Amino acid sequence: EIPVLFKQELQNEEAKEGKQVKLTCELSKPDTPVKWMKGDTVLYASEKYEFKQHGTVAELIIRDVKSIDS
């Protein structure tokens, strides 16, 4: 089986505190399960984090951004 690769890796994004930011990556294979992590911590969907996936594009939306989210 061909390994899944990043066609477009995450880019640094800036957001003002209290606003939201969207991080996007593109994979080589559509609908591949994605695990979002901050360091060694797995992120889960919540009021703070929202995950979207459309074909090869995966998105993480972080709401109410704080400096600790960097």
Domain of residue 31, CATH code = 2.60.40.10
Residue 68 lies in a domain: no
Half-sphere exposure of 44 (CA within 13 A, CB side): 0
**Count of domains for the chain:** 1
Residue 29 lies in a domain: yes
Per-residue pLDDT tens for 31-48?
889 999 999 999 999 999
Residue 33 lies in a domain: yes
Phi-psi bin for 69: left (phi > 0), alpha (psi -120 to 50), beta? alpha
Q: Round to whole Å and give the CA distance between 23 and 8.
A: 11
Per-residue pLDDT tens for 4-33?
998 988 888 889 999 999 999 999 999 889
3-state secondary structure of 68: helix
Residue 13 lies in a domain: yes
Contacts of 69 (CB under 8 A, 6+ apart): 21, 38, 62
Residue 70 lies in a domain: no
Specify the pTM. Answer: 0.87
The range of the structural domain enclosing residue 36 comes to: 6-62
Residue 28 lies in a domain: yes
